Structure 1
Amino acid sequence: MNGKIDYMLSIFSRSKYLVDLIEGMPDFHNHTLPGIDDGSDSIDTSRELFKGYSEIGIDHIVATPHIIGEFYPNTSKSIGEAFKKVKEAKAGPKNFSFAAEYMMDQHFLEILANDDVLTVTDNKVLVEMSYFQAPINLTQILFKLQNSSKAPILAHPERYTYMHSKDLSKYHDLKTRGCLMQVNMLSLSNHYGKSIQKMAYQLIEEGLIDYICSDVHKISHLEKIKEIKIPTKYVQNITTISANNGELLRQHFN
């Protein structure tokens, strides 16, 4: 009888829900500010998103709208104004601030030159690349960041399929150039496809992932996050990575 019980317990302990591993963790990659990118389209939507975060135990949020040339020509001013609207409407959580997600391109170099960069905290800057190819001047951009005493956090590295390889050499190269890396929660499911999911876990297993965030654009993303189960072999990795989020923003909200 005991053998049967042990067997049944082993079946049900093979995975854990992601939300149980990230409860209380700050999220610093999301598109929750209204009307300025492809995320929230209104204060009401933002309010719904923040409620959804609360339901999964996240109440420390740094909103990070896109800044992408002519597509999302946001500035520190436009982002600050959107943040102010949320605060005035009392729609956001108590622990709430803003930064940006910067596309690494020529426009970003101009922003760096003008010293108008919104950091996640201290000197950490959330950056991304095109899904089609890496910037031709990527080395130059990373060098400029270092010269500006900024440390890049590369958003969702698992989604850049042109970097995929068995030896992960391109990822290792970016790490040697000072890049920190942030995996998307949804990448731990098949939301973006099986190859993205496989690479996400491979990067985690290799110890290349520093942080985990939601990259939420709409409420359905939060609903999917609630359903994600993490295989037992990765539970400790995810627990450690989520703790890194807390350490990064420990003083930010105090």
Structure 2
Amino acid sequence: MSFWKRLMGTSPAADGSAPQPAKSGPGAPLLAVLGADMHSHVLPGLDDGADSVEAGVALVRELVALGYRKLIATPHIMGDFYRNTPVGVRAALAALTEATTAQGIDVTLECAAEYYLDEWFLPRLAAPDGILSFGGDQRYVLVETSYINESRVLTQAIFELCAAGYRPVIAHPERYKYLHSRLDDAAGWRDKGALLQINLNSLAGYYGPGERHAVEQLIDRGLVDFAGTDAHGLKHTTVLANLYATPYFDKLLALPLRNKTLLGG
């Protein structure tokens, strides 16, 4: 298992077999309710998601088949590990957009990034090329921490982003093991101005029972603002296609999620 998979917890298929593409079924129409996905790794060659334009097109095709009309790609930006830049991310977006258009796939593609909260993050706010946001004038910025230890710059990052006119969105809080025993901290992040995005596959226990329990608690407490796929490959769309069978999916959809607000810009 690679360093990145050990650090961030990417999971293989449960039986160890190669993942199969998602098939149409009862779950497919349900994701159309969300309309837009604001967390995916479909851009080719930038991180541990799609490794080629062809792989990106295949992943986009599956997400569209599940009901999405807009995909906001969020490649990792992380210190010296994923040294992506706004220029490089936009170039990858252009390549994928050209390919999906040529394939006749009806989808709107945009880009932002998933920023890892480390010592390199705060200086990026003052960098000439700035940081990548989504949601138009809302200027949402997707951020994440280690799954094991809380970032030492998390509170400061929330403050600095808000002060600079951005709205921080903390990715998949249910996956942070340090948070499982203190979900009040997640409520505190929202009180400070951050929003929370859960991974849909957490509802199915894809990442483990602890993550499933945490996401259910977040839903019960109304501490969810966005739902994202965090799709890195077809192994994730396979699980997404069966979300209709999970007990908390309808509860999630009953919350005032912001996904659909992204369809207009």
TM-score, normalised to structure 2's length?
0.82
How far is the alpha carbon of 1:235 from its aligned partner? 4.7
Q: 1:160 aligns with which of 158, 176, 180?
A: 176
Gaps of at least 5 residues in structure 1 are 1-16
Q: Who is 1:14 aligned against? A: none
1:21 lines up with 2:59 in the alignment:
no
Q: What are the Cα deviations for residues 209-251 of structure 1, in whole angstroms up to 9, with x where unaligned?
A: 11101000011110111122232xx45432234752002x132
* 1:53-202 pair list within 5 angstroms: 53-89=63-99, 90=101, 93-114=106-127, 116-121=130-135, 122=137, 123-165=139-181, 168-202=183-217
1:250 lines up with 2:263 in the alignment:
yes
Question: Which deviates the most, 190-199 or 91-100?
Answer: 91-100
**Is the CA contact 1:21–1:239 (under 8 Å) kept in the aligned structure 2?**
no
Equivalent pairs counted in the alignment come to 233
Whole-angstrom distance in 2 between the partners of 1:94 and 1:137: 36
Whole-angstrom distance in 1 between the partners of 2:106 and 2:116: 27
Q: What are the Cα deviations for residues 164-198 of structure 1, in whole angstroms up to 9, with x where unaligned?
A: 12x62211111111110011011001210011001
Question: Which deviates the most, 44-53 or 19-28?
Answer: 19-28
Q: Which residue identity is paired with 1:239?
A: L
Q: Which residue identity is paired with 2:80?
A: E
1:48 lines up with 2:58 in the alignment:
yes
Q: Which residue identity is paired with 1:99?
A: A
For the structure 1 residues 235 and 84, does the alpha-carbon distance in structure 2 shift closer, same or farther, using more than 3 Å as the test?
closer
**Is the CA contact 1:126–1:152 (under 8 Å) kept in the aligned structure 2?**
yes
**Is the CA contact 2:141–2:166 (under 8 Å) kept in the aligned structure 1?**
yes
For the structure 1 residues 93 and 72, does the alpha-carbon distance in structure 2 shift closer, same or farther, using more than 3 Å as the test?
farther
How far is the alpha carbon of 1:151 from its aligned partner? 0.8
1:35 lines up with 2:45 in the alignment:
yes
Large movers: runs of 4+ above 6 Å: none
SS at 2:168 equivalent: strand
Q: What are the Cα deviations for residues 100-155 of structure 1, in whole angstroms up to 9, with x where unaligned?
A: 11111221111112261111113111111111211112222111111101111111
Pair member with larger Rg: 1
Q: Who is 2:18 aligned against? A: none
How far is the alpha carbon of 1:71 from its aligned partner? 0.7
**Is the CA contact 2:41–2:231 (under 8 Å) kept in the aligned structure 1?**
yes
1:237 lines up with 2:251 in the alignment:
yes
SS at 2:264 equivalent: coil
Q: Which residue identity is paired with 2:38?
A: F
How far is the alpha carbon of 1:20 from its aligned partner? 3.9
For the structure 1 residues 138 and 243, does the alpha-carbon distance in structure 2 shift closer, same or farther, using more than 3 Å as the test?
closer
TM-score, normalised to structure 1's length?
0.86
RMSD: 1.9
For the structure 1 residues 212 and 241, does the alpha-carbon distance in structure 2 shift closer, same or farther, using more than 3 Å as the test?
farther
